[in-house]
Chains A and B, each alone.
Chain A
Amino acid sequence: MKKLALPDDILMQIDKPARYIGNEFNSVKKNPADVDIRFAMCFPDVYEVGMSHLGIAILYDMLNKREDTYCERVYSPWPDLHNLMKERNIPLFALESQNAIKDFDFIGMTLQYEMCYTNILQILDLAGVALESKDRENDDPIVVVGGPCATNPEPIADFVDIVYVGEGETSYGALLDLYKECRKSGFNRQEFLRKACHIPGIYVPCLYEVGYKESDGTLEYFRPLYDDVPAVIDRQVVTDMDSSSYPTKMLIPFVRAIQDRVVLEIQRGCIRGCRFCQAGMIYRPNREKSVDVLKAQAKELLASTGHEEISLSSLSSSDYHALGELMDFLIDDCLSEGVNVSLPSLRIDAFSLDVMSKVQDVRKSSITFAPEAGSQRMRNVINKGLTVEDIIGGATLAFKGGWNKVKFYFMLGLPTETDEDMKAIPQLANEVAAAYYETVPKDQRQGRCQITISTSFFVPKPFTPFQWAPMYEAGEYLRRAKVVNDEMKAQLNQKSLKYNWHHSDVTVLEGVFARGDRRLCPAILDAYKSGCFFDAWGEYFDFDKWLAAFEKNNISIDYYAYRQRELDELLPWDFINCHVTKEFLKREWNNAMAAKVTPNCKMACSGCGSAKIGSGVCHNAR
């Protein structure tokens, strides 16, 4: 029988012990003695969240295809187990072998959101690995991070040995080959890192030095310490999605994951160019998979997992060129086999409503709009090409089809936002409610229509046209939410409207990290030492501890979050080449200030710079 890392008495007192036993169907079993490289692949959040992540599934499959490598999984132990592991000195272990990850060659972590930064430290701490790169010894694991937040890795630069910038499919092979080569004779950690920095997309923070201006504290220089170290890191991009590594089977967790279904990635990148959206910029160019590849992958994944639900993953599924054909295939081939098709958020039109009516119970389901801003002016500023006519027209069609629930997603705190823009949010919702009462005769109504408005607070992200934008203080966000709430109560159809908004403290912190620099590292370390982790979970988020850590380290929230950055300021992430040029971002910032819309990539090329990649939408006929 498999030996577990945790003793029975611990497993019997913690919540959901099956998070920690491994043994999932389709998990990879190898004999550690048969491999050269042991890789702990970690999602620094709780099991159910991490197990739902497609990127990890792709890399786990890809790395395990190598005979010389055993890639195993690690997730953040929930606080109940965290405390017991600390109390009893149980080192953090990988799920498959249950072996301590301190003895592994690599600990890889994905940075999906800024609020996981303290969980990175938790993983290292529980593993028994030095928290700071400079304190690690020759044979300690190499700590490598990747994921979307790796496009500005500076706030965690002190904690990691390597940052993998970009899509994991391209350079991991070279990195592992190099490691194996270096291991053959007298491994020297520094030598390995120095060699690794020459692999495309590999950033080794300790090989760079940073200086700040005395006048205003902004970045003065960022440069390699040695001549051979590259000054610019090219973000890695898959050029051919069809031939790129994709798993044919996925793990079946015992504990229900957030995504308890087959997830089929239909394309990467987005043609839309919304100015607030980091994913829409860094994953450029838009690259689609061919529909035949997707059909084959869908069939194979359903057969190998036994999942009874399949959903599509992409940034904007309505833009996929063969969505109709793909949906027909899924509906014809899957529904009859007892497999549900769950729809991604689609643009609401006759086509999507027809598809929805085939796969959902109209009376129970809702339609979703994400206009992100209430007024047309504001939508032009953010380049969200959705008009009132689109929304009212789509909603009217849906009401005729029997739907009576609508969900709306908006952002508050966008650049140039005025009170009028905020008030336009409930006004738009009111118009949609009015359209319901006009469209559906009284005797056919199932009670009132239900319109739910949700707002989140905008956080400016690197490599977006809004990367220079100021944020607001927490209280100002709440004032904006109140403007929306008050205006909602003034609407004729207010009884059909419901409004939800988020907390604002965590937004400010997210903003600090998103555009932070290396000076944040000691503050994050202090926050962790004072007990901060699982910051993405409301019940564990403690803003006061963060404020104390900032104060101790002279970190000004004002500097990182609230100030307007100058367009010519050297930004901490400027050394990364995301293919979208700074010139384009500046042009888009100016277009935003002029409320000028930029066409999407299928309509016209706006010269963002990603055409250099040589694939995707940039090279398709328009």
Chain B
Amino acid sequence: MRARVKFAKTGIMRYVGHLDLMRFFQKAVKRSNLPIKYSEGFNPHQIMSFAAPLGVGLTSEGEYMDIDLKEKVDAAMALEVLNKNMVEGLEITGFKYLPDDAEKCMSAVTAASYIVTYKDLKDDACYIDNITDLKAKFFDEAHAINIVKKTKKGERELDLKPLIYRFNISIEDKVPVYDLLLSSGSTDNIKPELVVKAFHEFLGLPEFDDLSLDIKRVDMFTGEPDNFVSLGEIGDEH
């Protein structure tokens, strides 16, 4: 049976990359003595998979990993013992058993939500008084948001508009805070930096630096735009 583990990655753990995090979890699961299933062969490995990787520098309240277990254990106990094997900045926030027909988290992801703000409270974007009106022009009233996306193979034109499901701005202490829901997963994976960059270009701000943003992933979703379901809502504790 398959369990879905939800966790938060915050604080200084933002500097730990995805591969390193996977290795950390393999050892944490092993230390927890959960009856995890192993693959066959000379180098057996735990049957474990992660939803969309989180880039170095980002934090998240909604990360997911699926693990296959040989037998059911009490979900509350599993959550507790896993938490004993975490470090500062990693916290297990959910443990649910998936129905048999549930898609693996890795392929199930279709969207992700983010809260994005600026590390530097004096970023150029903090001085645009009518930024919310301009946002409406950029997003709500636009038919298309055409950008050039750089890929490994070169550059390609892309219309962001249908891939942005929510784009709100609030101002907190004079600093814009973006609330985004973006297409995610194996096709049309849209990073929040890309959206904010396009907005900066629309605003006519000088050169944009990805590292100027403080990005937190809030949650990941599966399903279609009119009916997104959080990966953490699937399954139950029994």
Q: In whole angstroms, what is the CA distance A340 to B30 when docked?
A: 13
Report A-chain residues with C-beta under 8 Å of the C-beta of B15: 11, 17-18, 21
**CB of A590 within 8 Å of the partner chain:** no
Contact A25 B28 (CB under 8 A): yes
Contact A306 B20 (CB under 8 A): no
Q: Which residue of A lies closest to B11 (CB)?
A: A1
Q: A306-B28, A338-B38 are in contact. Are A255 and B20 (CB under 8 A)?
A: yes
Report A-chain residues with C-beta under 8 Å of the C-beta of B46: 338
Candidates B28, B57, B87; contact of A24 at CB < 8 Å? B87
Contact with B along A1-22 (1 / 0, CB 8 A): 1101000110111000110010
Candidates B11, B17, B38, B56; contact of A2 at CB < 8 Å? B11
Q: In whole angstroms, what is the CA distance A256 to B26 when docked?
A: 13
Report A-chain residues with C-beta under 8 Å of the C-beta of B89: 1-2, 23
Q: Which of A165-220 contact B (CB under 8 A)?
A: none
Q: In whole angstroms, what is the CA distance A1 to B10 when docked?
A: 9
Report A-chain residues with C-beta under 8 Å of the C-beta of B168: none
Contact with A along B12-32 (1 / 0, CB 8 A): 110111011101101111110
CB distance from A360 to the nearest CB of B (A): 6
Contact B88 A306 (CB under 8 A): no
**How many residue pairs at the A-B interface have CB separations less than 8 Å?**
82
**CB of B227 within 8 Å of the partner chain:** no
**CB of A537 within 8 Å of the partner chain:** no
**CB of A361 within 8 Å of the partner chain:** yes
Interface size class of B (residues with CB under 8 A): 20 to 34
Contact A1 B12 (CB under 8 A): yes
Q: In whole angstroms, what is the CA distance A4 to B11 when docked?
A: 10
Q: A306-B31, A338-B46, A360-B42 are in contact. Are A1 and B88 (CB under 8 A)?
A: yes
CB distance from A58 to the nearest CB of B (A): 21
Contact B12 A4 (CB under 8 A): yes
Q: Which of B170-188 contact A (CB under 8 A)?
A: none
Between A18, A24, A252, the greatest number of chain B beta carbons within 10 A of the residue's beta carbon is seen for A18
Report A-chain residues with C-beta under 8 Å of the C-beta of B10: 1
CB distance from B76 to the nearest CB of A (A): 21
**CB of A254 within 8 Å of the partner chain:** yes
Q: In whole angstroms, what is the CA distance A24 to B43 when docked?
A: 25
Contact A338 B42 (CB under 8 A): no
Candidates A4, A17, A25, A252; contact of B56 at CB < 8 Å? A17
Contact with A along B38-60 (1 / 0, CB 8 A): 10011111100000000011000
B contact residues vs A (CB 8 Å cutoff) = 10-13, 15-17, 19-21, 23-24, 26-31, 36, 38, 41-46, 56-57, 85, 87-89, 119, 211
List 17 additional contacts besides A1-B88, A25-B28, A252-B24; criterion CB under 8 Å.
A1-B11, A1-B12, A2-B12, A18-B17, A21-B15, A23-B13, A25-B27, A252-B27, A256-B19, A256-B20, A304-B31, A306-B30, A308-B26, A338-B36, A361-B41, A361-B43, A364-B42
5 contacts between A and B (CB under 8 A): A1-B11, A11-B15, A21-B12, A340-B44, A359-B42
